[in-house]
A and B are shown apart, each in its own frame.
Chain A
């Protein structure tokens, strides 16, 4: 078996070399003829060349190497050339572009794009079509820089004007647009540059392309549809315009709905569903609109079925995940539509064991798509389970689901890892799952591993999931603690990414909640007071809030309060002062006042407040604040300070009475808020007892 395969590989080069030499000679002849002084001979030469290169990649490569391209471009641009010759040149160039990616690169390097764009200014339709066909082939290649279409600002308006010339110009131009309208997108940073969309939009792309949706030519309809799907993606301006467009008296959304009919080609159904999905996500169509609920969603679910091609299933699942991400009702409907949850389980069965043995081609195909399928399924599961507890339960009960996530977390493909952790994150919002399946499958282990060394976007998801796993009721909390997670989280708090800092400090906060002394000490030690205070002045409010939360959790139960305050009391009081004096939101101040209230609950820590008149004045100020939450927190603090059963309560009561707190408390007993009223009354009772 092996011998048979090896021998040809040794033989091939020889054959290839000899054949190549032969071909080069004939290729040389073709190129030479381009330089013939007789224009008629040149034309014949180009035509012969055209016939010679069709379907012959080696011939194409040879001609390129021999320098045919610059000459062809020269002939094409020369106004002295006959129109026929110029057209044939464009055809040959189009043919050369059909070859390998290297061919395209060479053509682009020879500045074929500006030359062809220039050619479009000619009035002859046949020549224009030949240029457009070649441009189309060049632009749809992934190696061509999209930007080349936009360098000359007159190009786009001219292309728009050519749309009315013929079905061919329509097909090629819309195809070029569909491929050259790139949104640089990163879901993690949330950056979107709709630059290309805006250029096309401003040049009337919508008005010009909309009528093509009902063109008699299927190819034109299809390319126009694709154009709209890339134009509308994450673009509210385009989407809002699209809903108001009428095509032949019909709303565009209805045209798309018709294109999703089940007897239409799958490609058309899928692309139309994408258009409506993007319009919906951009806020142009309501999520409860029938065209979304009864048409787009079922169509996308159908795209996930086993009958569809692997590529279609990937796109279908990704689009569906995107469509329903923000809407619980759509998630609920999708979760019961056509057994979607179990249908997705099938995405993990590639390559199937059968294909490996019987069919090498199939195996290759399956392997190529296996990663894509898995990540798409994870994404869709993540989206499905992001809100509804019942759906999460259904997902975790799907065959081998947790095992699949666990192995997904350590896959080589980063896309799969990211999607798997997103899925895990979505499921980790369930208290029940945290208590059961998450613990049973020890998902924390691969998660911790993932956190050691991963790109930021994976880290964000993974650390966010970790936050949930560190919740107090999670049985995974203990083993995670033992695995040295604190150091890792502390390092996250030093990250440049706000999202990572939030997650790091959030996880620490969760970890500190009702933790024992040892853990708290360890957190303070590992984080370091310096870092803690740096976080308290973090520009990101979320980080600040979670850091305050961490402080609050650290300062709970009396012995802990006294212990922490005895070692870090000074800095903490400083920080508290700073925040209370600073410009912060109500929530931040409330959280800070709560910390103060906790400090007031300590035995020795109390004195840090009592001896700080400035602080007492602040508390007094917040008791009279217009916000009830702040009043409540400040009253809590006072209540703790004057609590009867503790040592020295009498002196504290006296001092605070002198400072006028009793009057304020008295006033607060009349407060309209029942909580505040109760709290004030309880505090007053301390004086009466």
Chain B
């Protein structure tokens, strides 16, 4: 029965992973596809040829990039972002005390941020910020800006075309938008309504209307013509005037642009657009005033519907990724990936059942897998002392040779002591050493709910920090302390069934080292040992900033009366056991000359890397090919 349920689990898992693998490979394939339509047409029947713009083939990627690390980097990057929002939201709190009147403005900014996040989820704004207003620095002198740099008015003479003036947005349109859209409302057509709305590259002369020069594109209100880097326009659409809302949509997948008038698409205006264009408007006669909407307000045109179409197109492209005659090969590869994943994470029974049913050889002895499984379980349940001991028993030279790893494990042990979960303090706390904190037994590779809980927890930390400042100023009572706990306990609750039966106990209340005085003393003693080990390491092997920071962070826990809700409290979260666990697991595997990352994790990392590379090289389809979509 046990085997049966395991193999059933393995089948389900296989389905899930197979889908993931297919998706990932297709995503990589997408990344290596030529970007320009023109080229694509030539290549449509043959297999994708690597063009200049996509010289990185995925094989070189596998060799060159430590994919799992980069994958984690993505995750950590995400956390950093959230962590950074901690201090800034703290500032926001302080500021809101001072500037109460600008509430509406903040509200608008919030709406803008939300809308941009929703429209362009794939854009990494730290790398490529989105345009949010016109640039006061990148404009001709005849242009005046007001209303948070969203309103543009003309203040020149407006006698001849030589008096034309333009302004660009603060940032170019990031390729990772996939589809980008902004709208301009004509507040007044002024004297002659010689208004141009469009796009231009950085450095294009601003004493001109958009469209007149190289790398400049515009749609003009007086005649309805489109100007494609030329002084003479082409008949394009209707004229526009006071009261009209003109939208400009850039498709970064096929590098085209179309305009909208009052919510109606006017059809393609430009093709073969270059990358890194800025939203641009130009005015030419007195009295002309236009307002931009970069997402501050709902758009008149239903751009999200258009995006849906392209998302579907890109995803269909991925789904239809041709495997051709290599079908057998394909299946074997997928099975290998699944099996190696199971082995790597020591799901021995499942791995065994899977290998049997798919006729594969497992490249590691079962006993070895079981050993790793045992150690992992210990780490993940917070029993670091036992974990270190077991490792030393089973792999005698491993930690001796790898002092940094040992140090990391010990720091974690210290944290677990603070947490009251490490075996050493547990027995001092008068509890049975057998009695364990329950922890989800499975290492999480993907963005599972646990990860999400972690990010929300980190966010809570940020909030806690704000509350701290509140304490500071008002001497008030913090109410936030229960948040972290609730989160933690719900995590335990969800994954209860994955634990061994005798590990079912849940901490009811958080106390330093489980509340035992003896345990606290042991913890402090252990801290000293750790300190001397750190000094020893530094003398022997020179400075190691990572180690230093790790230790500092861990010790900081003691600076707070309630470490769990302190700014460094995230360390106590059980989710932090995962990287430790996987580092240790990788180290053990390396000693057996096995890859320290399973190929599946490698390809996840590789696909994520591909997507960010696509964003950088201006291939817009990355917007609609999120790796997360394939990891359910």
Contact = CB atoms under 8 A, between A and B. Distances in A.
Interface of A: 261-263, 294, 298, 333, 336-339, 343
A338 B312 contact: no
25 contacts: A262-B308, A262-B309, A263-B308, A263-B309, A263-B311, A263-B312, A294-B263, A294-B264, A294-B302, A298-B264, A298-B265, A336-B238, A336-B261, A336-B264, A336-B266, A337-B264, A337-B265, A337-B266, A338-B258, A338-B265, A338-B266, A338-B267, A339-B267, A339-B268, A343-B267
B305 interface: yes
A262 B265 contact: no
B308 A261 contact: yes
Contacts of B267: 337-339, 343
Central interface residue in B237, B261, B266, B267, by most chain A CB within 10 Å: B267
Contacts of A337: 264-267
A324 to B, nearest CB: 13
Interface in B279-313: 302, 305-306, 308-309, 311-312
Contacts of A298: 264-265
A339 B234 CA distance: 13
B264 A262 contact: no
Interface of B: 237-238, 258, 261, 263-268, 302, 305-306, 308-309, 311-312
Contacts of B309: 262-263
B264 A333 contact: yes
6 tightest Cβ-Cβ pairs between the two chains A and B: A262-B309, A339-B267, A263-B308, A338-B267, A263-B312, A336-B238
Contacts of B312: 262-263
Nearest to A333: B264
A298 B306 CA distance: 11
B37 to A, nearest CB: 13
Contacts of B305: 261-262
A629 B23 CA distance: 79
A262 B305 CA distance: 6
The secondary-structure label for the interface of chain B is mixed
A298 B311 CA distance: 19
Central interface residue in A261, A294, A336, by most chain B CB within 10 Å: A336
A337 B302 CA distance: 14
B306 A262 contact: yes
A141 B312 CA distance: 34
A419 B141 CA distance: 57
A125 to B, nearest CB: 31
A233 to B, nearest CB: 26
A37 B539 CA distance: 101
B401 to A, nearest CB: 55
A263 B258 CA distance: 19
Contacts of A339: 266-268
A300 to B, nearest CB: 13
B375 to A, nearest CB: 46
A263 B261 CA distance: 23
Contacts of A336: 237-238, 261, 264, 266
A336 B267 CA distance: 8
Nearest to B258: A338
B315 to A, nearest CB: 9
Given A262-B312, A337-B264, 19 more contacts: A261-B308, A262-B305, A262-B306, A262-B309, A263-B308, A263-B309, A263-B311, A263-B312, A294-B263, A294-B302, A336-B237, A336-B238, A336-B261, A336-B264, A336-B266, A337-B265, A338-B258, A339-B266, A339-B267
A343 B308 CA distance: 23
A263 B312 CA distance: 6
A336 B306 CA distance: 18
Contacts of A263: 308-309, 311-312
B59 to A, nearest CB: 34
A333 B306 CA distance: 19
A343 B261 CA distance: 18
B221 to A, nearest CB: 14
Nearest to A305: B267
Nearest to A343: B267
A336 B302 CA distance: 17
A294 B299 CA distance: 13
Nearest to B269: A339
Nearest to A301: B265
Contacts of B311: 263
Nearest to A334: B264
Contacts of B308: 261-263
B298 to A, nearest CB: 13
A289 to B, nearest CB: 13
A394 to B, nearest CB: 9
Contacts of A333: 264
B199 to A, nearest CB: 20
Contacts of A262: 305-306, 308-309, 312
B269 to A, nearest CB: 10
Contacts of B258: 338
Nearest to B311: A263
Contacts of B266: 336-339
Contacts of A343: 267
Contacts of A338: 258, 265-267
A218 to B, nearest CB: 15
Contacts of B263: 294
Nearest to B313: A263
Contacts of B268: 339
A343 B265 CA distance: 14
A338 B306 CA distance: 13
Central interface residue in B261, B264, B312, by most chain A CB within 10 Å: B264
A294 B302 CA distance: 9
Contacts of A294: 263-264, 302
A337 B309 CA distance: 18
Contacts of B265: 298, 337-338
